[in-house]
Amino acid sequence: MLTDTTTTPVYELTKPDKKFIGWHIFFAVTALTIGSLFGPLQALEHAGVDLYPRLDFLFVEFNGVNSYYQGLTLHGVLNALIWTTFFITGFTTLVVIRGLKRPLAMPLLNRIGFWSMVAGLVVAAIPLLGNKATVLFTFYPPMQADNLFYIGLVLVVVGSWIEGWGFMLTLWRWRKENPDTKTPFIVLAAVINVVLWQVATLGVAVEILALILPLGFGWVSGIDPQLSRTFFWFTGHPLVYFWLLPAYISWYGMLPKQAGGKLFSDSLARLAFWLFLILSTPLGFHHQFVDPGVPAGWKYVHSLLTFGVGFPSLLTLFTVVASLEYAARKRGGKGLFGWIRALPWGDGSVTAQLLAGILFIFGGIGGVANASYNVNLVLHNTAWVPGHFHLTVASAVTLSFFGICYWLVPHITGKPLWRPQLALASSWIYFAGMLIFSNAMHTVGLLGAPRRVPLGLAPYVPSEWNGHLFRVAVGGSIMWVGLMLFVVVVAVTAFQRKRLPEGEHIDVPVAESLDDPNKAPAWLDRWKPWLIAMVVLIILAYGPQLIDQIAGIESTSPGFAP
Amino acid sequence: MATEADNDSEVQEEFKPRGTVAFAAAFVVVLLLMWFSIYIIMLSRGTTI
């Protein structure tokens, strides 16, 4: 059985709510489908099979997809920025309404936000497809894209802010209506993620509005790449947590129920999310360890803070695994590790998330190496880095979102999951491909292979890299097959005619806690101290350097369009 | 006859996450091994001034 079916609904979202969430998922999956087309092309290129010259027929109205770098940009923007943001805002809509058991406070606000995001996607897609924004998803200045690309990104971010205001307003109203009730964990966690996003994206907003667009419109003649990078990574690292926290919401608050158990500790779960809020942002310099304009002392400070965020990550590991162990023991699991076999591995939704967690263990280990100021020098700007973030955003996040879709799409459409066995297979195939791909990328990175380079064309590739680059191609291609199976299963589920039997529906799996949430300390349900801590820590970690870099700004680098 | 609820509360009362502790310990060991293997690579490359 894939998910629980029940004839006594706990709470029904309205049809317009479900349709609204469905639009989010539609755009998210469409972006993922297009963006992922380029994944195997890059992987095959590394093995010497360059298919890009044969792609002129794609998007012919826009001059075709011409190069490795255009494909890499489309892959990064559509997968890392669009798939995630649209999915997360849709999932948050569901979590807030279902968790609070009330409608959104101002549905119109959320709709304005969503359609702004769609408008932004369309505006950014025009230069992207026309090869006028081939600047990769980090768009480091002085590389310069068509202004429409940045305007589109601004619209996507502002739209997500507006949707976020809708979620915050809804929670604020609910707290007014329920002053003596603790905020349900899944909603607290979802709104913490919303607040994290609002604060984190201030960096990239300043970068685009104050530095990049003035250059693009010709108001200034140059740009300061160092300051731009600092603003970018102010957003760039907490962006990773914006992606991860919705997966964690599912792992903490939903997966235990799907596995037949309960959340091990509601209090630990709340504490972990508050710590992510205060610790996710003030550590961006660990992405800039080789930047010449950031003093070594500040790099050490951010390195230490990055280890600080390891603490809520370990809390998450412990609490989620304990919740799963509890479920497995209830199902008859025995032994120190034998209980793992008793988990419901036949359920496609559960298995996708379990496999996501397994891959993320290695992503976390790699992250500790990335954060180490000295060890990072072995890996910096090598193929290790994309190997690492494919274990985070493309595994922990994406594979978890697959698992969520396997109950969410039936829930919002009222239709049964099409071919549950194919859903199960999609996760295993993707997992197998990722194991091969990420292992090869990490290994070849340690051997010195640079990232963001069409290695198939590079004359300096030593023979010892060849076997690993071949594995990159094989793993990347297998992943794509798994991903396409996911797309087919979700699309057929949504558009099939078959409906669930009358009176039956797929419920949102919300886990109870082993401890009583009402006995959790009151400070775990108060916003003020955590918000103050977050602001203070950001000021301490970034303030002096931002003052220094802004005071010494040197807008001397002319932009260039690659 | 024991009901499902009785079984639930029995598992809940007896539950000690021993497997989780072992799992977390294994995680830390693997983390340290992998970190030090990269550290050794770094040392083997020597200074690059």
What pLDDT shows up at residue A59? 61
Query: Which chain B positions have a beta carbon within 8 Å of A375's beta carbon?
Result: 35, 38-39, 42
Confidence of residue A519 (pLDDT cuts 50, 70, 90): confident
d(CA A535, CA A246): 22
What pLDDT shows up at residue A5? 47
Confidence of residue A53 (pLDDT cuts 50, 70, 90): confident
Mean pLDDT of chain B: 83
What 3 state SS string does A194-260 have?
HHHHHHHCHHHHHHHHHHHHHHHCCCCCCECHHHHHHHHHHHHHHHHHHHHHHHHHHHHHCHHHHCC
Confidence of residue B45 (pLDDT cuts 50, 70, 90): confident
Query: For chain A, how many structural domains are there in total?
Result: 1
| C-alpha neighbours within 13 Å on the C-beta side of residue A245 | 35
Confidence of residue A12 (pLDDT cuts 50, 70, 90): confident
CA A111 to chain centre: 22
Q: Given CB atoms, is B42 within the 8 Å cutoff of chain A?
A: yes
Q: Choose the weakest-confidence range: A56-60, A80-84, A193-197, A205-209.
A: A56-60
Task: Specify the pTM.
Answer: 0.94
Instruction: List, in sequence order, every residue forming a beta bridge with A450; answer none if it has no partner.
Output: A382
Q: For B45, name the nearest residue in chain A, comparing CA atoms only.
A: A378
Residue A557: helix, strand or coil by DSSP?
A: strand
More confident: B8 or A246: A246
Q: Is the pLDDT at A318 greater than 50, yes or no?
A: yes
DSSP class of A261: S
Measured between CA atoms, how close is B48 to chain A, in angstroms? 11
Which of the residues of A are catalytic? 237, 241, 388-390, 451-452
Average pLDDT over residues A464-485: 97
User: Closest partner residue to B38 among A314, A339, A375, by Cβ?
Assistant: A375
Q: What is the CATH number of the domain that holds A234?
A: 1.20.210.10
Q: Given CB atoms, is B40 within the 8 Å cutoff of chain A?
A: no
Measured between CA atoms, how close is B5 to chain A, in angstroms? 11
A24 lies in which domain range? 17-501+511-551
Q: Is the pLDDT at A297 greater than 80, yes or no?
A: yes
At a CB cut-off of 8 Å and minimum separation 6, what does A88 contact?
A: A193, A242, A243, A246
Confidence of residue A163 (pLDDT cuts 50, 70, 90): very high
What pLDDT shows up at residue A175? 96
Cis peptide bond prior to A142, omega within 30° of 0 = yes
Q: Within a domain: residue A506?
A: no
Q: Within a domain: residue A271?
A: yes
Provide the 10 A C-beta neighbour count for residue A431. Answer: 21
Mean pLDDT of chain A: 94
Domain segments of chain B as ranges: 17-49
Q: Given CB atoms, is B16 within the 8 Å cutoff of chain A?
A: no
Instruction: Indicate which of B36, B42, B47, B49 best probes the interface with A, i.e. most A CBs within 10 Å of its own CB.
Output: B42
Average pLDDT over residues A406-421: 97
A538-549: per-residue pLDDT in tens?
Answer: 999 999 999 999
- Which value does ipTM take for this structure? 0.87
Q: Is the pLDDT at A221 greater than 70, yes or no?
A: yes
d(CA B49, CA B46): 9
What pLDDT shows up at residue A517? 84
